[in-house]
């Protein structure tokens, strides 16, 4: 391969990378590396490609290979930070980006990425400071403008956030991340129709933008008023740091138990407490099954089917199956088949919606696998209990229902731990 052709191929790979077409870029870069050329720039491009394909270990290995030969290259530390960030290893990612900044303190891109990391760990004040530093270096840096807007939303400074996003759109009207950012900002305000417009624009410019895809799904589901307010509450909860989320969860459960105790011991307060208890119970239940139930609805929507990921489709279908079984068992019982095992099977089927609807929620594959194994164990106890209860025509088998119940509670605690930690 002569030099002009080699340079043409590299330029083509750069364009593909900018478009997020990592598979095609990977094919070209493999051919270029096969020529024996192993310059650092080519290796950097291959590392970016591997990260884009989700092969983070291969990407990190390539970066560390460059780092061993070029320990003074700040961009290498920046790339390593992006890979660590993609793996949700935020402490290491922040350490790497700080190293890059110490070597090149006038790079707006480095500060913009540091801001994005701080957003991931919900350090909104620090993220705003980093984004402002990046904008002092480059007032039109799109990544910094988007990070600043997200930080302002996190700090509930929504008017300033709108101004920043509008500036970003004025700078680059077709930027997919900016439109996605505007869409999420509008979801925070409950403006689902306007949010949908921006998510469509984002996906028109980049159909593979996962941030915009996720927002599109939430915007479509938010057409239902009940879900819209539920989403606003979940977005508010999502802005909390992990320890505050745990405080909210544990505090809510404590309040729930106290109210139940008061209702049992005070007939005069009972009529007022029961609705509150029901609302708390429905909130915690809906936090697990509302989204997969809405995804089940979106499976009937042409656009929804293309926007849902395979994991989301799987969870929605499984929730649909258990919901159908639960309703069918109730129907058979009330139609005259007085086998109390049907009531047990119905209850267990409804309960299985919790793990089946949430086991694919984690970002990291290893965590999805752990929740899938946990769900399989719960299903085993539930299936045994249903079989024995139906055979004996009793409400639960007792010996297997307790492990099922304990497993469901344990699953909820562990899943919360996994999701909050990510």
pTM of the predicted structure, to 2 decimals:
0.75
What per-residue confidence (pLDDT) applies to 407?
93
Give me the pLDDT at residue 379, please.
94
Is 251 in the same domain as 215? no
pLDDT score of 132: 96
**Rounded-to-integer distance, Cα 145 and Cα 164, Å:** 6
Structural domains of the chain, count:
2
- Residue 191, φ and ψ in degrees, nearest 5: -95, 75
Beta strands in 263-334 (DSSP E): none
Q: How many Å from the N-terminal Cα to the C-terminal Cα in the chain?
A: 45
Domain check: are 57 and 177 in the same one?
Answer: yes
pLDDT of residue 80: 93
Segment 25-83, tens digit of pLDDT: 888 888 888 887 777 888 889 988 998 888 888 999 988 888 888 888 899 999 999 99
* Residue whose structure tokens are 């996962």: 210
Residues 244 and 312 in one domain: yes
Q: Give per-residue pLDDT as tens, 277-312.
A: 888 888 887 777 788 888 888 888 777 777 888 888
* Residue 309 confidence (pLDDT): 83
Has residue 249 been placed in a domain?
A: yes
Q: Domain boundary residue among 199, 225, 251?
A: 225
CA dihedral 147, 153, 155, 158 (to 10 degrees): 130
Examine the fold and report which residue of 197, 225, 253 is the final residue of a domain before the chain moves on: 225
The answer to whether position 140 is within a domain reads yes
Q: Which of 152, 189, 147 is nearest to 168 (CA)?
A: 147
Q: Are residues 68 and 138 in the same domain?
A: yes
Residue 380 has what pLDDT?
Answer: 94
Whether residues 156 and 256 fall in one domain: no
Structural element, H or E, at residue 274: helix 270-298
Low-confidence ranges of the chain (pLDDT < 70): 1-2
Residues 118 and 249 in one domain: no
Alpha helices for 138-269 (secondary structure H):
142-154, 158-171, 176-188, 192-205, 210-221, 225-238, 242-265
322 and 205 in a common domain: no
Residue 204, domain extent:
3-225
Residue 373 included in any domain = yes
Write down the pLDDT at residue 1.
Answer: 61
Task: Indicate whether 30 and 110 sit together in one domain.
Answer: yes
Residue 347 belongs to a domain: yes
Domain identity same for 301 and 388: yes
Decide if 86 is inside a domain: yes
Please give the pLDDT value at position 238.
81
Instruction: Compute, in degrees rounded to 10, the torsion defined by CA atoms 390, 392, 394, 400.
Output: -80
Residues 158 and 293 reside in one and the same domain: no
Together in a domain, 66 and 102: yes
In a domain, 231, yes or no: no
Same domain, 80 and 23: yes
CATH number, domain with residue 169:
1.25.40.10
Last residue of a domain, one of 162, 197, 225: 225
- Torsion 139-144-149-151 (CA) sign: negative
Question: What SS3 state is found at 88?
Answer: coil
According to the model, what pLDDT value does residue 170 have?
Answer: 85
Q: CB-based contacts of 282: which residues, under 8 Å, 6+ apart?
A: none
């Amino acid at each position: 391969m002569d030099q002009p052709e080699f340079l043409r191929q590299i330029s083509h790979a750069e364009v593909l990378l900018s478009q997020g077409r990592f598979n095609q870029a990977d094919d070209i870069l493999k051919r270029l590396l096969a020529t024996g050329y192993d310059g650092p720039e080519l290796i950097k491009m291959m590392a970016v490609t591997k990260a884009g394909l989700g092969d983070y270990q291969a990407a990190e290995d390539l970066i560390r290979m460059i780092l061993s030969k070029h320990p003074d290259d700040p961009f290498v530390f920046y790339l390593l930070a992006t890979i660590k960030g993609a793996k949700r290893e935020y402490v290491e990612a922040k350490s790497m980006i700080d190293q890059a900044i110490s070597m090149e303190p006038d790079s707006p891109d480095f500060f913009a990425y540091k801001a994005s990391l701080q957003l991931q760990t919900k350090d909104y004040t620090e993220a705003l400071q980093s984004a402002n530093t990046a904008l002092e270096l480059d007032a039109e840096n799109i990544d910094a403008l988007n990070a600043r807007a997200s930080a302002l939303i996190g700090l509930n400074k929504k008017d300033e956030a709108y101004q920043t996003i509008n500036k970003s759109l004025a700078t680059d009207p077709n930027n997919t991340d900016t439109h996605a950012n505007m869409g999420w900002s509008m979801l925070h305000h409950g403006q689902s129709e306007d949010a949908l417009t921006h998510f469509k624009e984002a996906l028109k410019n980049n159909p593979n933008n996962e941030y915009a895809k996720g927002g599109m799904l939430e915007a479509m589901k938010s057409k239902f008023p009940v879900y819209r307010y539920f989403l606003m509450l979940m977005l508010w909860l999502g802005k909390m740091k992990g320890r505050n989320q745990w405080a909210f969860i544990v505090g809510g459960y404590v309040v729930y138990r106290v109210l139940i105790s008061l209702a049992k011991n005070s007939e005069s307060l009972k009529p007022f407490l029961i609705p509150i208890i029901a609302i708390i119970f429905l909130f915690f239940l809906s936090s697990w099954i509302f989204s997969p139930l809405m995804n089940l609805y979106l499976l009937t929507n042409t656009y929804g089917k293309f926007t849902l990921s395979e994991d989301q489709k799987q969870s929605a279908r499984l929730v649909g199956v258990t919901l159908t079984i639960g309703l069918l068992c109730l129907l058979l019982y009330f139609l005259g088949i007085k086998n109390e095992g049907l009531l047990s099977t119905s209850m267990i089927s409804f309960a299985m919606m919790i793990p089946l609807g949430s086991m694919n929620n984690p970002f990291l594959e290893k965590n999805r696998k752990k929740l899938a194994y946990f769900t399989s164990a719960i299903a085993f106890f539930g299936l045994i209990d249903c079989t024995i209860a139906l055979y004996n025509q009793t409400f639960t088998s007792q010996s297997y229902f307790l492990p099922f119940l304990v497993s469901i509670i344990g699953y909820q605690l562990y899943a919360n731990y996994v999701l909050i930690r990510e």
